[in-house]
Every structure is written in structure tokens, then in C-alpha cells.
């Protein structure tokens, strides 16, 4: 049974990815930070879930130990866990420091640690196969964001990790990034916001979580793509 490790499976893309791989009869090992109804549903379907706050180094190390002591092989590692802060809401210098540190921890340091720790498990036993690492970044990593500076910088760091790990882990492990813009709206997004957001791309629509899942599958099927960032932005970069 193939094994996929996915961080951040509680909602949105992470949840959809976990459900997708469970349906494909993968052993799904997932992390989450907050208990939700969706977490229990994944458990019922057979996912092996770990409550991990990647801001807590002890919890990160405990998760690494739990996986390395119970798993022989990982076919794919997907870094989806993420956080979001608006720099305009920060009022004090100490808060700026905390937010930047948190963004770098969740989007760069945690993937860095997990990639290195799980490296031996990702090396395939057959020479004609590949292990895969997929980082989930963001459109703003290449564009910047005046409202989410720390977030954008940390996602850019994640994309740079893709370059370094692709070199370090070649030729047995492919390392790539998916950088989406708008995939799906939140339930509380109003119509005016939706219209404004859709108009930012050439395609005039949101991408969907399925679009990202299709890209994950495309990368897994490839035997020749590594060290690349795949942009899912509907042509937004051309607006």
C-alpha cells in the first residue's frame, strides 16, 4: 500500500488531498492543529492523524519520531500546513518579530526539518521509481504582498527550499512546488469580494481544489520534472 504524508489536512486543500488519496487506497498520514468534524471523518475513513502544532518544536519532533518508528516507506510528502497574518493588524515591534518568526517556522522551517528527517523513507526501493516531495506555496511568493509581507516572504523561502532539496535528493526523489492563487472561496466571502477576486485573473474564475489535485497527480506521474514551481493562477501574472 503506497503511503502519503500530508501536513494540514483539517480543511480546504489539505482535506481534499487526504480524501483523494484515501479513495485511491493510500495509507494517509496527516497532521492537523485544530479538532474539527472533518478530522473525525478522515479517521473513520482510515487516515492516521497526528495533532501537531508546528510552532512547538517538541510536537514537531514527536511527529517525526512517530512516523519514522512506524513507517518503512513514504511515497509522497506534501507540505500543505499553512498560516496567515495581515501585517496591517500588527501594532508593536515585538508582534512584527513574532509574526515573521511564525510564518518562517510553519512555511519553511517545518518543511526543512521534515524533508531531512523523512529523506531515508522517501528513497524508493526500486531504482526505476521515485519518491516525491511537494511544497504548497502561493501566488504571492513571486509577486509579493503589501498586506501579507511576512507570509509572502516565507512562501518564497519554501520555493527556494524546492531548488535546494531537488539538487540534494536527486536522482531518487523529485521535489516540486505548486503555487496557487485563488482555488476556492470561503463560506463567508460576499459576492462583491468574489467578483473582485475573479477579475484578477485572465480566466475570470477560481481554480478549484480539484485543479490542485490534478497537478499533484501530474507531478507524481512525471519522471522528469523536479526543482520546479507550478503556478496555478489563471493567468493572473499577466493582468
Reading the block at residue 102, the C-alpha cell is 511564525
How does residue 57 score in pLDDT terms, banded at 50, 70 and 90?
A: very high
Cα 189 from Cα 163, distance rounded (Å)? 35
**In order of start, what are the domains of the chain with their CATH numbers?**
3-238 (3.40.50.720)
133, 165 Cβ separation under 8 angstroms = yes
The tens digit of pLDDT for each residue in 140-155 reads: 999 999 989 999 999 9
Q: What is the DSSP string of 167-199?
A: HHHTTTEEEEEEEES-----TT--HHHHHHHHT
Question: 151 an active-site residue?
Answer: yes
Cα 120 from Cα 61, distance rounded (Å)? 16
pTM value is: 0.96
How does residue 91 score in pLDDT terms, banded at 50, 70 and 90?
A: low
Question: Taking Cα atoms as reference points, which of 234, 219, 238, 228 lies closest to residue 78?
Answer: 219
The tens digit of pLDDT for each residue in 59-82 reads: 999 999 999 999 999 999 999 999
Catalytic residue among 26, 32, 112, 151: 151
Question: Taking Cα atoms as reference points, which of 8, 92, 16, 15 lies closest to residue 55?
Answer: 8
Amino acid at each position: 500500500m503506497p503511503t502519503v504524508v500530508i501536513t494540514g489536512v483539517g480543511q480546504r486543500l489539505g482535506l481534499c488531498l487526504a480524501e483523494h488519496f484515501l479513495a485511491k487506497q493510500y495509507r494517509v498520514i496527516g497532521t492537523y492543529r485544530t479538532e474539527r468534524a472533518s478530522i473525525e471523518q478522515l479517521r473513520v475513513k482510515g487516515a492516521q492523524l497526528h495533532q501537531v502544532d508546528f510552532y512547538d518544536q517538541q510536537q514537531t519532533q514527536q511527529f517525526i519520531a512517530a512516523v519514522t518508528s512506524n513507517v518503512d516507506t513514504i511515497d509522497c510528502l506534501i507540505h500543505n500546513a499553512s498560516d496567515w497574518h495581515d501585517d496591517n493588524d500588527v501594532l508593536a515591534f515585538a508582534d512584527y518579530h513574532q509574526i515573521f518568526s511564525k510564518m518562517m517556522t510553519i512555511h519553511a522551517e517545518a518543511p526543512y526539518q521534515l524533508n531531512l528527517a523523512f529523506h531515508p523513507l522517501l528513497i524508493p526501493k526500486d531504482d526505476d521509481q521515485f519518491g516525491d516531495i511537494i511544497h504548497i506555496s502561493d501566488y504571492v511568493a513571486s509577486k509579493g504582498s503589501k498586506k501579507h509581507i511576512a507570509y509572502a516572504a516565507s512562501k518564497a523561502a519554501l520555493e527556494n527550499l524546492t531548488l535546494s532539496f531537488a539538487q540534494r535528493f536527486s536522482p531518487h526523489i523529485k521535489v516540486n512546488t505548486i503555487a496557487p492563487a485563488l482555488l476556492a472561496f470561503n463560506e463567508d466571502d460576499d459576492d462583491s469580494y468574489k467578483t473582485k477576486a475573479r477579475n484578477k485573473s485572465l480566466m475570470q474564475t477560481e481554480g478549484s481544489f480539484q485543479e490542485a489535485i490534478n497537478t499533484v497527480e501530474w507531478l507524481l506521474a512525471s519522471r522528469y520534472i523536479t526543482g520546479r514551481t507550478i503556478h496555478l493562477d489563471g493567468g493572473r501574472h499577466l493582468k
